Every structure is written in structure tokens, then in C-alpha cells.
Amino acid sequence: MGESSFSPLSSAGESSLSEFDVQRVTKSHFDLLGSYLESKENVQDVLIYSYTKCINGFAAYLDEAQVTSLKGNPGVISVFENQERILHTTHSWEFIGFEANGAPTLSSLQKKANFGEGVIIANLDTGVWPESKSFNDEGMGPVPSRWKGTCQAGGGFKCNKKLIGARYFNKGFASASPTPIPAEWSTARDTEGHGSHTLSTAGGSFVPGAGIFGYGNGTAKGGSPKAHVAAYKVCWPSENGGCFDADILAAFDAAIGDGVDVISMSLGPSRPVEFLQDGMAIGSFHAVKKGIPVVASAGNSGPVAGSVAHGAPWLFTIGASTLDREFSATVTLGNKKLFKGSSVASKGLPAGKFYPLINAAEARLPTAQPADAQLCQNGTLDARKVAGKIIVCLRGINSRVGKGHEAELAGAVGMILANDEESGSELLSDPHVLPAAHLTYTDGQAVMNYIKSTRNPTASISPVHTDLGVVPNPVMAAFSSRGPSLIEPAILKPDVTAPGVDVIAAYTEAVGPSELPFDKRRTPYITMSGTSMSCPHVSGIVGLLRAIHPDWSPAAIKSAIMTTAKTKSNSKKRILDADGQLATPFAYGAGHVNPNLAADPGLVYDTNVIDYLNFLCAHGYNSTFILEFSGVPYKCPEKASLAEFNYPSIAVPDLNGPVTVTRRVKNVGAPGTYTVKVKAPPKVSVVVEPSSLEFKKAGEEKKFMVTFKPVMNGMPKDYTFGHLTWSDSNGHHVKSPLVVKHA
């Protein structure tokens, strides 16, 4: 770090303070920081945030020498650089079981929880477009008396009984910006659309007739449509996403103090980060310590193994998969072969009309490289070769909608967007500016081969059609980040998967649906894809569970959702990955959310703060660090073991002999006896003791042990998968994935 760099300090002890104590803690930050500066009068110039509500720490401009000195201070736990993080519907709720034929079912979790009434959901994102109908307060009850938040002024912003709070945090972003940020950015108003989309997915109101360009019309709503919502703007316009740790920590500190019930966070690091060098891991720990579940996106760096973000066990980490709705556009070639693609283009071609077809690599300008032209990159296409034709562009590098814009500038009448090999069969319905269809890798190759084999190739692109009940679904999205966790492989991540492809939700009217400068279109609702979209689906579900089980801990809520998740699609077969192969728990965790069962899971794997501290001990942090981190005296056990950490999934990343894992389950249902059934990973012996558990009352806890043993030596050093299930006579099936790697 140079002198102009910025480093936040977190001595993240618990801080739930009176006004006097807040002043005292703030003064301690000033005094500590001042002792490392030439003059204490300079503190105000370098201090950016003083975290005092629930997190004890501060953020400041520091040079390398000052950082080194601070690291040597015994009262300082962690000093880490202000890192930038990235931003990772009308039908999706019916797909996961809340509705039938567009109406809520009597047995649905939404109905049981009265649609999340009284719950407060916070969203850390790009802010909110308050005028969206998804945030109207018609039929909303009064603002809960426990709410201590505010509606920050700026940008003509107004809150109501639905959108009860809005704050913005940009000092961390400003500290890293080479130029002063515009004054008009001092607002929680969403100018990018991401935050409005995610917040409305979690807790948006009922909005009949929502869709995009006439497609997917239905009633938009969030998972908890009667919940109150609050926006915490921590992300700002930049090439990489513009979400900085200092601002994220400040938002956590505020949200916890404001009295929220759920925190949704569709953002994260671009690569896995050690827990205590990660503002999101630190902030979420303090939220969970206060009983607030934190739901986070797994990241969009898939299908690469080990790419999953948010590996902390106190976080609820969500992958992304498809739903059974497709926006289809069919490509018909001159040889009569048909290929079904995806699109929500705002305009179409005449049905059945054929146009000349050209591969973008053959339409390049003399100054352009073939590989760049194949991607339809800016300034690569020759209008004399493209005009009046349908062009084939390869997915990758530049924006998918941007490719179509480049093609349109060159005179193309339509675009076929062909997947690269890595993207496989994953199709996305983008708001293209010209008639377009997105094809799989295999179909795209067939189109390119047709062009090569034909003197005068032609094609047509049909108008977009909305298809429902498509089989098989869900399918894992190729972009969804995968396990194993590189930070702690003994914790399986992601935890579950949820709808994250072509999700329709609210949007901003500040920019067009592509967010690209040329796009002058405006639409109040839009399709988006990413783990950013799957995360708020689970946040909405968590809100419902908070409503009907206010006494459940964040861990109990997570366990209920994980152990009732499903691993089969609507084809009654196992969930597939985007490449057509069977998906594994490294893609979907415990499975796809099945929330109606989560209201009554039977048993839960509960976890408390001491469990998390023991986990940190076993992970390698010493007692001194844990003491400061927790804010209370604590001594690490002599033999802290990851095998004893009570998690709803079980991962053994180094099986080279017998390994015994301990778990405990709490009864949250009626008295009964549960018996275990195991599907062992291949070539692994799995023994559970005891094999039955009797519960005489609610709240009773029982321990069991699972012993893993390789059945033969010399096994390949690769992961294998299985599961164990506790079942009773009342229809409960408490299922946990088993993940084993031979050492």
C-alpha cells in the first residue's frame, strides 16, 4: 500500500452501546489512530468511518508504515485493505411451490407466514428505485415499533410503510476513487437496477401485470411480499462493481442497529477470501451474533471448481439454477433444421421470413482480428458484409447485449448468439436491441457448420414465445460458483441453490435494461440472471420462516431450508449441470430450495456463537484473537475440531483412515423416533451411531456420530458424494449431503 491507499481496521468486538458509550468508543478510535499520526489534529482528515453501533472498529487512510505499526498493537485484531467487491419474479415462486395456477396454495409457507407480515428485510446493494410499484405500501401494516432506521434524504427520495428505510455509504468508495465522486451520488436511489431487482425479489409487493416487453406477464412479488424492506446502498457505478469493504461494514453496523430481521447481500469477492480479511464475513458474524440471518450469493465465477465465495459457516450461501419458464426464440436454417434459443428482444423479425446468414468472423474489418470479430467486439464488423443479414456472434468477453448493438450498427437485421464451449447448454434471455436468439454450444456449432457447407446460407428467427413447465428443471447455471471452498473445505459451500436465471423483478428507470450507454429503452421490470438473483429468493424464504418461527436461530432457519431441499428436478431425476452431466453438491449444496417443507423440518442442526468461535479456533485462529474478536473472554479448546462443528452438511476433505464426525440435532416438531438411512459415497464405509434417535419433547437435542472409512487403499484423490437422512413416522426426512475426498 502506498500513502494514498486505504486500510480499514476492525477490532470487531461486540458493540451495542448507549449514546455515552458510543462517544467513548469513538474517542478511543480517535486516540488510537492519533497515536500513529504526526498530530492528533490530523485524525479527522484520515478517518473515514468509526463503527460503533454493533461493530467496534474504524476505517482510515494509512500508509504502509502506519499499517505495520497498527498490526503490532496488541489491542488490534485485524488490519486489512479496503477491497472492492462485485455485484454477483412473476413465475419463480410458483416453480418453488408457493403457488398453483398463479394463486397461493393454502399449504404454502407464504400463506402460513401471512406473506412475511411484520418482518424487516435489509438489502445491501446498489440502492432502490422508490417509485417502483414493487415498493408501494398499499395494504401494509404500520412500521414496527422496533425499527430505529431512517430514510436518508437526497435525490427526491421518499420512504413509506413498505420501504421503511434507506441509507447510503460511499466514503470507502470515495477513498479509492481517483477523482471526487459527483454530489448527486449522495442518495440511496438506484441508478443501476441491481438493488431494486434483488430487493423486490426478496420482499416486493404484489404487482399485477408485470413483465418485460410483453413477455412473462404475471403478478410480480417478493418471497415475503408483506414484509417491510430497507435499502442500504453500498455499491456504486464502476467497472468492477464498486462495493468496498469499508462501506459494507458501515452498512452492517447500521442495519444491525436499525433492527432488521434478515440481511440479503447479493455481492461478494471475485475470489475466495480468508474470513477475517473480509468485511462481509466480519459484518455478517456480528449480525448472526445478534440473531439476524445473513443470506449471500455464491458468486458468478462458475463452473470453475473452488470458485465459491462466502465460505463462512455463519453465512447462508446460495447458488443459482434455472426455473421451468423459458423465453424461446427459434432459429430455422435454410436446410429446415430448427434450434430453440432464448431471448427477450424488444423487437422481432417477420415470422417465417429468411435472411442471409453470416458468421461474424467472416464479416470482420481488415483491421480486426478474426477472434475479436467472432465475438462481435466494438469496431470489428464490416457493414458492407453485415448489412441486411443475420449474424452469428460468439459468447464471451464483451456484453451479450453489446454484441447485438455492434451488429445493429453494422446493419444486421438479427443476431444468433452462440455459446462458447465453457458455457455449454446455459441459455440466458437478454433484452437484446435487435431480434436475437441465444443458442447452446452444440447448436451454435451446428449453425456455423451449416454456414461453412452452404454457398448461400439463410436463417429466420421466430418471435419470442413464453414456455412454462419446461423439463428438466432446475438445471445448474454454468456461471454459478462451485465448491469446494478453498478457505475451509471442511464446510460444504454453496449451501443450497435457488432460481437465478431469467428472473423478472423491479428495475430502475435511470438506465436502459442493458445498462449500456447507448440503451435509451426504459422498462420497470426486467429479467436478470446471476447468484445475485437466487440469493434474494432465499432471503424472502428466510423472512417467512422468521415470521412463523421468531424464536429460531439463524442456524436453525438455515438448517430447515437445507435439510428439506430437493436434489431431483421436475423430471423426477437428479439435477443436471449446465453441461448435461449430473450436478454435485459442489454446485447445489444440499439441493434446490423446497420452502413449503422448511416450515416443519422435524429436526434442525442448531449452532450458537460458541460453536462459531470453536470453528474459528479449529480453523487456526488463536485464543487471543478469538477473545478480541468475540468481545467476551474465551479460551480455545485444547483440541478444537472441525469434525465437531454442527453443520447440516458433512464434508471430509482428507479421508486416509477412519474419520469420525459428531453432529447434534434438535427436535422442533412433535415427539417421535427418527431412524437413519445412509447412501454412502462410492468406496467409502459410513456408520452412524446411534442409528435411531428418540425425542420426547420439542427443544430436546441428541448427538450422533458418523464414521467414514475407505473400503480400499489407493483410491483416486478425488471427491465422492452421498447423503444421510433421518426419518420419522410423521413424514419428516432430514437429509444431509456427504462429501468425501480420499487423501
With left for phi above 0 and alpha for psi between -120 and 50, is residue 255 left, alpha or beta?
alpha
Burial (Cβ within 10 Å: 0-12, 13-18, ≥19) of residue 584: buried
Q: Give the β-pairing of 436-439 and 414-418.
A: parallel
Mean pLDDT of 397-421: 95
DSSP string, 677-692: EEEPPTTEEEEEESSE
Q: Is pLDDT at 7 greater than 60 in this prediction?
A: no
CA-CA distance, 252 to 341, in Å (whole number)? 41
Q: Is pLDDT at 414 greater than 90 in this prediction?
A: yes
ω into 208 cis (within 30 of 0): no
- Provide the pLDDT confidence category of residue 363 given band limits of 50, 70 and 90: very high
Cβ 226 vs Cβ 120: under 8 Å = no
- Determine if the pTM surpasses 0.95: no
Burial 639-655 (b: 16+ CB within 10 A, else e): ebebbbbbbbbbbbbeb
Q: Is pLDDT at 34 greater than 70 in this prediction?
A: yes
Task: Write down the pLDDT at residue 370.
Answer: 95
Higher pLDDT, 78 or 465: 465
CA-CA distance, 418 to 385, in Å (whole number)? 19
Mean pLDDT of 680-709: 97
Q: What is the tens place of the pLDDT at every residue in 149-186?
A: 999 977 678 999 999 999 999 999 988 888 888 888 88
CA-CA distance, 739 to 743, in Å (whole number)? 13
DSSP state, residue 40: G
Ordered by where they begin, the domains of the chain are: 6-81 (3.30.70.80), 86-323+474-598 (3.40.50.200), 326-466 (3.50.30.30), 603-607+646-742 (2.60.40.2310)
Task: Write down the pLDDT at residue 25.
Answer: 63
Mean model confidence pLDDT for the chain: 90
- Provide the pLDDT confidence category of residue 1 given band limits of 50, 70 and 90: very low
- Provide the pLDDT confidence category of residue 55 given band limits of 50, 70 and 90: confident
The residue whose grid cell reads 476513487 is 177
Q: What is the tens place of the pLDDT at every residue in 89-103?
A: 457 888 888 887 767
Mean pLDDT of 622-630: 71
**Residues classed as catalytic:** 125, 194, 532
Higher pLDDT, 558 or 516: 558
Mean pLDDT of 653-680: 97
Burial 315-352 (b: 16+ CB within 10 A, else e): bbbbbbbbbbbbbbbebbbbeeeebbbbbbbbebbeee
